[in-house]
Amino acid sequence: MKLTRRQILWSAGLPWLSNAAPGPIFDIQGHRGARGLAPENTLAAFDTALALGVDTLELDLGLTRDGHLVVTHDLRLNPDIARDASGAWLAGPGPAIVDITLAEIQTYDVGRLRPGSRYAASYPFQVPADGERIPTLAEVFALVQAPGARHVRLNVETKLNPLQPDLCPEPDEFARVVVQAVRQAGMSDRVSVQSFDWRSLAEVRRLAPALPTVALTTRQPWLDNVADVRWTAGLALADHGGSVPRLVKASGAVAWSPFHGDLSRAELAEAQALGLGVLPWTVNDMDDIERLIDWGVAGLISDYPDRVRSALKRR
């Protein structure tokens, strides 16, 4: 019997994904849906990603004042993304997600990037979708529970910053609400939880040991979260021989998502030897995509999942 590509991909499974049986052998993750092609973290972006044939939707979560999980990257409404109910662009950072209700959040239009902004210039192929609202996680669950999308996984990020606690939910409470939402939606076998703030991941594992957690890292001037125990739930790099893969393994995460520019081939091999899945973010350049596939990463998180797909197709 001749197997289709999807059957081949899904028959092999991913050993690092404890809740996936079976799963894709190479995980194409659409970053914020498909930010390069549609407004980030909107239903339009998730629809675009599904139409392109991703394996996983990557998305960011916030928790509103009235306890709803909403899909947004920023701790405060982003003035390059959000327009108020009158259609006016925000003059500066808007209210914090934790300080407003779902009804208030959904008065904002997030369907296009502010014309003339540097952010808009970074995504010249993004097709606006005026009228798009910040969705709830429940709405995204519904998308992937529809016929034709039931094979798609979600990689949900708890957006937290331990250095700005006033703008964030309390990490344990955030984890509890996420686990509860995943269970209530019957999505326990299709979700992983990722974070730069490993406190929420530890709580997810405590509440739901079978739910895979993914440790995000960046070692860049704007943030080096592995060098600061406030981000790593108290784990110190020095106690793990200065090895990020060993630190990630010690955290209990089953996969590691490093900033792609930080990853060396030696570190990839070390992580793989420890049994970690390695999924770099956010890989948009075709040369980087080709190189990292050659290196043998488990998957790629990209604003342009179509590029990852075409690179794989050529092989």
Q: Give the residues lining the site for Ca ion (CB under 5 A).
A: 60, 157
- For 198-227, the DSSP string reads HHHHHHHHHH-TTS-EEEEE-EETTEEGGG
What phi and psi, each to the nearest 5 degrees, are found at residue 89? -70, 145
Question: Would you say 109 and 131 are in contact if contact means Cβ atoms under 8 Å apart?
Answer: yes
Between CA 146 and CA 217, with CA 38 as vertex, the angle to 5 degrees is 90
Size of the chain, expressed as the number of residues it contains: 315
Task: Decide whether 131 or 135 has the Cβ nearer to ligand G3P.
Answer: 135
Residue (of 249, 291, 296, 247) closest to 268 by Cα position: 296
Give least dist CB 35 to ligand G3P, A: 8
304 lines the binding site for ligand G3P (CB under 6 A): no
What phi and psi, each to the nearest 5 degrees, are found at residue 259? -55, 130
Candidates 158, 225, 257, 272: give the one binding ligand G3P (CB under 6 A). 257
Residue closest to ligand G3P when measured from CB atoms: 281
* Contacts for 140 with CB less than 8 Å, ≥ 6 apart: 43, 46, 57, 59, 71, 154
197 lines the binding site for ligand G3P (CB under 6 A): no
Site string for ligand G3P, 55-74 (x = CB under 6 A): ---x-x------------x-
**Beta-bridge partners for 158:** 61
Residue (of 153, 227, 147) closest to 190 by Cα position: 153
Residue (of 181, 143, 142) closest to 63 by Cα position: 181
219 lines the binding site for ligand G3P (CB under 6 A): no
Candidates 44, 96, 301, 308: give the one binding ligand G3P (CB under 6 A). 301
Stretch 89-148 residues interacting with ligand G3P (CB under 6 A): none
- Output the six-digit token pair for 305: 């999942």
216 lines the binding site for ligand G3P (CB under 6 A): yes
Task: Decide whether 197 or 306 has the Cβ nearer to ligand G3P.
Answer: 197
Task: Decide whether 107 or 122 has the Cβ nearer to Ca ion.
Answer: 122
Task: Decide whether 157 or 306 has the Cβ nearer to ligand G3P.
Answer: 157
Task: Decide whether 194 or 272 has the Cβ nearer to ligand G3P.
Answer: 194
Give least dist CB 86 to ligand G3P, A: 29
Which residues of this chain interact with ligand G3P, rule CB under 6 A?
31, 58, 60, 73, 157, 194, 216, 257, 281-282, 301
